[in-house]
């Protein structure tokens, strides 16, 4: 017998891959996803949008979810979508929630391998910040105290373990995520960081394997792309 403390093995079926999209991007952004990485995770990937689209509903085998959120690019609409993504994950039995934008390429086998290094029964907030220092905001409550926290850029992708998501439930489930976003008046990914780092006091683990469009592709070594 071995006495290792290795986390349990992760398979693709343990991962809920959540992609945020919007009606105006269906035709320009979804075909390339469906042609490429989606093929490797058809059953595990769900696309969250803001309209019914029977064409893409067919092409994704019914994996388009109409959040009924507004299709404008404002804070409330984006927090609304994230809130539905989060609630939908909670209603599954998946161990990991991984969010991506519709202009992200998801390296499916690498993502699964990467999650294998972490235990989903522990609290994990995995992603990449896009700022050099923690965000500092002045909270309205408690004598205008300064609040500092990191957040993972939504456009770089991030993952939450089920254990952490369960702890977030009382604060963020059933639309409460939207209320918090409204209260601090910040975007969905920032709201996520606020809930996890500030309210729950769980730290973001910075993962350099995630990339947002803020990093030009030419800065990633070609021979290392397959490991990202
Ligand atoms: N998006 C959305 N509603 C909008 C505009 C964008 O849900 O009105 C989504 C879009 O599908 C993408 C993410 O928000 O997943 C980021 O959008 P985009 O790449 O256009 O902007 P940026 O990365 O510059 O924030
Ligand atoms: Mn983008």
Can you tell me the ipTM of this complex? 0.98
User: What are the Cα distances from residue 71, in Å, to 25, 59, 84, 201?
Assistant: 11, 21, 14, 32
13 is catalytic: no
pLDDT of 214 strictly over 90: no
> Hey, whose CA ends up nearest to atom 10 of ligand 1?
21
1 alpha carbon – ligand 1 mean position (Å): 50
Q: Is 74 exposed, middle or buried (0-12, 13-18, 19+ CB in 10 A)?
A: exposed
In the predicted model, what is the mean pLDDT of the chain? 94
pLDDT of 226 strictly over 70: yes
Question: pLDDT for 180-205, tens place per residue?
Answer: 999 999 999 999 999 999 999 999 99
> Hey, whose CA ends up nearest to atom 5 of ligand 1?
73
- Say yes or no: CB of residue 104 within 6 Å of ligand 1: no
pLDDT of 2 strictly over 90: no
Between CA 151 and CA 130 the distance in angstroms is: 8
User: Structure pTM?
Assistant: 0.95
120 alpha carbon – ligand 2 mean position (Å): 28
Question: pLDDT for 131-183, tens place per residue?
Answer: 889 999 987 776 778 999 999 999 999 999 999 999 999 999 999 999 999 99
* Atom of ligand 1 lying closest to residue 71 CA: 8
213 alpha carbon – ligand 2 mean position (Å): 6
Helix (H, G, I), strand (E, B) or coil at 15: strand
């Amino acid at each position: 017998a071995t006495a290792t403390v290795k986390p349990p093995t992760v398979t693709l079926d343990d991962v809920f891959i959540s992609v945020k999209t919007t009606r105006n991007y269906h035709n320009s952004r979804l075909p390339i996803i469906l042609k490429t990485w989606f093929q490797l995770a058809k059953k595990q990937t769900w696309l969250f949008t803001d309209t019914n689209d029977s064409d893409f509903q067919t092409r994704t085998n019914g994996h388009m979810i109409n959040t009924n959120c507004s299709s404008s690019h404002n804070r409330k609409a984006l927090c609304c979508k994230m809130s539905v993504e989060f609630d939908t994950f909670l209603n599954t039995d998946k161990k990991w929630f991984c969010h991506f934008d519709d202009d992200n390429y998801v390296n499916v086998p690498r993502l699964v391998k990467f999650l294998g290094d972490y235990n989903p029964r522990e609290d994990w907030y995995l992603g990449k910040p896009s700022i050099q220092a923690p965000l500092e905001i002045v909270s309205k409550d408690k004598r205008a105290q300064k609040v500092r926290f990191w957040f993972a850029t939504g456009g770089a992708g991030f993952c939450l373990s089920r254990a952490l998501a369960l702890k977030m439930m009382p604060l963020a489930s059933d639309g409460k995520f939207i209320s918090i976003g409204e209260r601090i008046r910040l975007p969905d990914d920032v709201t996520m960081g606020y809930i996890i780092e500030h309210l729950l006091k769980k730290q973001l683990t910075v993962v350099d394997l995630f990339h947002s469009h803020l990093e030009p592709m030419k800065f990633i070594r070609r021979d290392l792309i397959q490991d990202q």
